[in-house]
Amino acid sequence: MSEEKPKAPNPDPAATPAAEDSRITIEEFARVEMRVGQVVEAQKVEGSRKLVRVKVDIGTEVRQVVAGIAEAYDPAVLVNRKVVLVVNLKPARIMGIESNGMIVAASDGAKPVLATFTEEVRNGSLLR
């Protein structure tokens, strides 16, 4: 009588074929230009619970971005904060406001958590 051994669960979900299909090449990743920026101005978007209009200094210019972070961050606490900004996105109009980039944040439950720095880094520095 032979005993059938139970299959061990796959401990690495990234090793599944579905996850492999969503992987990108280093060349594709290199197309995403992320830079360090410092928030110089932030205000809630009128008529929205989630949106904040943020102006971010990326060293060579100040970019206006609309970010869905109002439920997690009061605009006043954003000023002077260093953030990661995707700078090579095509502009988008969100609630009538032109957005020229995207602030990088993690999804931690229901609220976003901004990607930031623990050490001083110059505005405009490229992330790799």
Averaged pLDDT for residues 53-82: 97
Class of domain 33-114: mainly beta
pLDDT at 93 over 90: yes
Q: What is the pLDDT of residues 101-120, one digit of tens each?
A: 999 999 878 789 999 999 99
Phi, psi angle pair for 122, to nearest 5°: -70, 140
Average pLDDT across the chain, whole number: 89
Maximal CA-CA distance, the chain: 75
pLDDT in tens, 38-63: 999 999 999 999 999 999 999 999 99
Domain positions in the chain:
33-114
**E strands along the chain, which residues?**
34-44, 52-57, 62-67, 82-86, 92-94, 97-99, 102-103, 105-108, 111-114
Q: Considering just the CA atoms, what is the radius of gyration of the chain in Å? A: 20
